[in-house]
Structure 1
Amino acid sequence: MDILVSAIVGDLVSRSASFVIGKYFQQQPGIDMILQRLQRVVQRIDTVVEEAEGRRITNQGMLRQLKTLRQGMYRGRYILDALRFQAALEDEEEVSHSLTAVLLSESSSLAKRLRFSGAAGGGSSSNRDAAALLMSGANNKIREELQRMVSSLEDTMDAGMKEFLLFLESYPRVLRQPHAAYLFLENCMFGRQTEREQVLDFLLRPGATPMLAILPIVGPLGAAKTTLVEHVCRDDSVRGRFSTILFLPEGSLEDEGVTDLRGGSNFKVRHQNHATQSHNRFLIIVETAKDMNEGAWRSLKSCVAHMAPCGGSKIIVTGRSDRIVDLGTTEALSLGRVPREAYWYLFKSLAFGSANPDEDRSMAAMAMEIASEHRQCLLSAHMVAGLLRDNFSPRFWRAILGLGA
């Protein structure tokens, strides 16, 4: 029973929930009360997060607390959307086949039983009956898990929130033009706000010694490592600090050789600042997919030290291998994929634009299913959601969903 509950609750939080969950929960006594509490606490968190994102926070402790608040907001909104939107697909036969049998993990024997019952019954209604049967025995456990999650979010809001808001007032506001939320998300480093501030802190921190400072950033393919760095490098404070920002793409340090920062063909110049206050400081971004040639790496550092003898230059190394961690002079930054709950928040905002998803819940449910097919790839979120927004019709969205099936 515990395995069943864990599988159902875990999938509810981390995957696109089936409409069976929505219909089942709506019929349970007391569940509306818990969902109303969830709605209220998510709105409270949303208000605090919106205020915090309008400030330039530099304190690492507050940034970690803000990250926790964001995760809670995304998680709560994900569950509320799953319960609201997936129930709208009960009569959508084109989509409902792809939404059954996702209540349980793929490796679970119970998931195999669910798929087998659907095959034996020859239709999605048999799958629904099997899912409801499996869930009915875990009713109390599921309610307890949902209750525990809501209580956890409420505790997060109550613990130290007065102090957080008080300290928040001491940080300057970030000036930005008012516009629709999806336009802001298109131009911000979504899901990496805390990491962005950490990279900024590394770049703007005065060097205590002339030693070359190096920050490794490690993460899997699609974790937006290079995108994060490029976004930070567009910040005016970074461009004002370094005289030259250079980008060294993958493969440039695989062979040993002398690296010339004054115009080597391997480098791409991202920015040059001839103002005297930048003091000939270099920022080098090295992108690597394989192991670097040690001779080429030594040559690069030697060239930076020679051309910027006063110090202050810095290197950021991005890659998928943990071996680059040893290259750093400071703690490495590790990036994972954006959580599914946060990814859905971004995808929904980009796909619907200024439209309200609640006005067409069947389209919202289709968007939720399309989003689940892209494995939290941020590039796909912008491309696919933008395509959906530009072709805002149920017929087109069903066609896109069919292509991914």
Structure 2
Amino acid sequence: MDIVVSAIIGDLISRSAAFVINKYFQQQPGIDKILQRLQRVVMRMDTVVKEAEGRHITSKGMLRQLKILRQGMYRGHYVLDASRFQDFGEDEDEVSYSSTALSRFSQSKRLRLSRNDGGSSNREAALFFVANNSIPEELQHMVDTLEDTMTGMNEFLFFLESYPRIIRQPYGTYLLLDNCMFGRQTEQEQVLNFLLCPSVTPDLAVLPIVGPLGAGKSTLVEYVCRDESVRERFSMILFLPEGCLKNEGVINLTGNNTKIRHQNCTSQNRLLIIVEIAQDINEGTWRRLKSSATSMAPCGGSKIIITSRSERIVNLGTTEALRLNHVRPEPYWHFFKSLAFGSTNPDEQPNMAAMAMEIALEQKQCFMGAHIVAGLLRDNFNARFWRRILECVRANKQTHLLLFRKHPNLRLLEEGPLYNWRLEGSCRYFLVCNYQSDSGDEVPEISARDIILGSGGTLPRGEFEALAWRSRIPPYYNYTIRCIIQAPQPTVGRKKRVPQEECHLI
């Protein structure tokens, strides 16, 4: 009886808190006007960014300004969506008490805007939900900043007209994002400028690219290597995958460990060498690599791109290193929303958009997770199914916080075992023991989608391989997992305690 009374009192308190805070938020006199100003400046930014993305910009200064514009555009869209969808919760009659209470608690929180003052990834997050009375002031500050940014873009718009247009086929947004690299346009142009501009010295030009696991280093380099202007400039594009430079003997750039990505017999004898290393490279090995490249192309003009998760490779560069960080929450929401809703306008389904926003936030900027989960949402476009996925995402997060004190996607970053949720089956979880990526043609017959939906027949007993996701963009990796149908157990993965900063995952 005491438990029932406590539950009723707790429910009444949460309802009262939600009512009071909602009433306060609705009665703020300046909120609506500020949001209208925000919508106008975001529309202007949309127009400029789309025009700029259709031009072949080579100036580093212009690219930096475009990056600022793009960040402001995504941030503005994020705030507008959050303010638009935050009052649309779930149908309380169709969910359990626990998730309903959590939903009310989430709705009673209001937006607080953080300032972009640099620093850690946590401080860079543009939005997070807390009860706070300074919403109008912070929202006003954000809109003022975006308007000042647009005002200072007059020179950018003037010089933009001088850059040639890029011919592209018209595609729907979700089709374009599903088949193209997302969020790295500025970095792509920077790498292209490095490769296509003549070297200042006759020495080998080296560009280091540094970024954490899963930041998209390989994808960025692969996209650049497929550019026609790059293939015309270099006679051969060589790829040295991770691990092939451990041998400190003579480096043979035409040996079995080296993959030839492209050959152009009509071009001048110039090499483009792509080197992937996990951490650091031996000084002697690096010296022999450069010597081999020089002997193969003695006329000069060859270049090296080296990618790593270690900052130590920065000193190897002859130009400023390119640093890739995880995509911020605002553009990630734009990506996830486009994949989940397809050609449907999210404004027409605010209840589902609110659920999608929470699901996207829990993905921690994981692109593989976005493709898997958003694909399920798009293929099962109804509120009941989306609500089930939201409940599974919430429960899986709580399970990992209780067992490992880590968000599941942060355990993925640590490359440790983790549990994933299932919609069907006697056991609602499966344990992912390990995972790998390759670009081979052979893939497991079972997919992660089959495991989640309980389709595809009876699953094997014990450990088995499954295809988590097959990328549609270069280098077309297949992400496979070894997993087992198993309920959460506190002992799983306890032996592997890797200290890792809780940053965003892509």
- TM-score (ref. length: structure 2): 0.66
Name which of structure 1's ranges 281-290 and 391-400 shifts more when overlaid on structure 2: 391-400
Q: Is the contact between residue 23 and residue 87 of structure 1 (CA under 8 Å) also seen in structure 2?
A: no
Shift of 1:96: 10
1:151 pairs, out of 144, 149, 153, with 144
Q: Is the contact between residue 110 and residue 132 of structure 2 (CA under 8 Å) also seen in structure 1?
A: no
Shift of 1:90: 5.2
Q: Is the contact between residue 215 and residue 325 of structure 2 (CA under 8 Å) also seen in structure 1?
A: yes
Q: Is the contact between residue 89 and residue 103 of structure 2 (CA under 8 Å) also seen in structure 1?
A: no
Residue equivalent to 1:400: 389
Residue equivalent to 1:70: 70
1:221 is paired with a residue of what secondary structure? coil
Q: Distance in 2 between matches of 1:331 and 1:123?
A: 47
Residue equivalent to 1:86: 86
Q: Is the contact between residue 89 and residue 351 of structure 2 (CA under 8 Å) also seen in structure 1?
A: yes
Q: Distance in 2 between matches of 1:260 and 1:269?
A: 13
Name which of structure 1's ranges 323-332 and 240-249 shifts more when overlaid on structure 2: 240-249
* Pairing 1:244–2:236 present: yes
Deviations 1:147-174 (A, max 9, x none): 1111111111112x33221111111000
Residue equivalent to 2:298: 309
- The one-letter amino acid of 1:329's match is T
Shift of 1:28: 2.4
Residue equivalent to 1:273: 264
Q: Is the contact between residue 243 and residue 274 of structure 1 (CA under 8 Å) also seen in structure 2?
A: yes
2:88 is paired with a residue of what secondary structure? helix
Residue equivalent to 1:289: 278
Q: Is the contact between residue 56 and residue 163 of structure 2 (CA under 8 Å) also seen in structure 1?
A: yes
Q: Is the contact between residue 272 and residue 302 of structure 2 (CA under 8 Å) also seen in structure 1?
A: yes
Shift of 1:186: 2.7
Residue equivalent to 1:191: 183
Shift of 1:21: 8.1
Name which of structure 1's ranges 51-60 and 376-385 shifts more when overlaid on structure 2: 376-385
Residues 1:125 and 1:51: Cα distance change in structure 2 (over 3 Å): closer
Q: Is the contact between residue 96 and residue 124 of structure 1 (CA under 8 Å) also seen in structure 2?
A: no
Q: Distance in 1 between matches of 2:234 and 2:19?
A: 53
Q: Is the contact between residue 270 and residue 302 of structure 2 (CA under 8 Å) also seen in structure 1?
A: yes
Q: Distance in 1 between matches of 2:307 and 2:290?
A: 16
Shift of 1:293: 2.6
Deviations 1:119-161 (A, max 9, x none): xxx87657766889xxxx98652211101111111111112x3
Give matches, 1:6-85, under 5 Å.
Answer: 25-85=25-85
Residues 1:149 and 1:92: Cα distance change in structure 2 (over 3 Å): farther
Q: Is the contact between residue 252 and residue 292 of structure 2 (CA under 8 Å) also seen in structure 1?
A: yes
Higher strand fraction (1 or 2) = 2
Deviations 1:59-107 (A, max 9, x none): 111111111111111001001111112221154587899999xxxxxxx
1:89 is paired with a residue of what secondary structure? coil
* Pairing 1:215–2:207 present: yes
- The one-letter amino acid of 1:402's match is E
Q: Is the contact between residue 243 and residue 282 of structure 1 (CA under 8 Å) also seen in structure 2?
A: yes
Q: Distance in 1 between matches of 2:21 and 2:208?
A: 43
Shift of 1:19: 12
Residues 1:19 and 1:233: Cα distance change in structure 2 (over 3 Å): farther
Q: Distance in 2 between matches of 1:196 and 1:97?
A: 48
Name which of structure 1's ranges 286-295 and 226-235 shifts more when overlaid on structure 2: 286-295
- The one-letter amino acid of 2:236's match is T
* Pairing 1:232–2:224 present: yes
Residue equivalent to 1:116: none
2:87 is paired with a residue of what secondary structure? helix
- The one-letter amino acid of 1:230's match is E
- The one-letter amino acid of 2:190's match is Q
Residues 1:324 and 1:398: Cα distance change in structure 2 (over 3 Å): same
1:167 pairs, out of 155, 159, 166, with 159
Q: Distance in 1 between matches of 2:19 and 2:278?
A: 41
Q: Is the contact between residue 89 and residue 96 of structure 1 (CA under 8 Å) also seen in structure 2?
A: no
Q: Distance in 2 between matches of 1:83 and 1:241?
A: 49
- The one-letter amino acid of 1:323's match is R
Give RMSD over aligned pairs: 2.8
Residues 1:239 and 1:391: Cα distance change in structure 2 (over 3 Å): farther
Q: Is the contact between residue 245 and residue 284 of structure 1 (CA under 8 Å) also seen in structure 2?
A: yes
1:87 is paired with a residue of what secondary structure? coil
Residue equivalent to 1:372: 361
- The one-letter amino acid of 1:224's match is G
Shift of 1:363: 1.5
Shift of 1:248: 1.3
Give matches, 1:339-378, under 5 Å.
Answer: 339-378=328-367
Q: Distance in 2 between matches of 1:326 and 1:176?
A: 38
Q: Distance in 2 between matches of 1:123 and 1:166?
A: 50
Residues 1:23 and 1:395: Cα distance change in structure 2 (over 3 Å): farther
Q: Is the contact between residue 247 and residue 268 of structure 1 (CA under 8 Å) also seen in structure 2?
A: yes
1:29 is paired with a residue of what secondary structure? coil
Residues 1:399 and 1:167: Cα distance change in structure 2 (over 3 Å): same
Gaps of 5+ in 2: 1-17, 112-129, 395-506
- TM-score (ref. length: structure 1): 0.81
Higher helix fraction (1 or 2) = 1
1:246 is paired with a residue of what secondary structure? strand
Matched length: 359
Q: Distance in 2 between matches of 1:98 and 1:328?
A: 54
Q: Distance in 2 between matches of 1:397 and 1:61?
A: 43
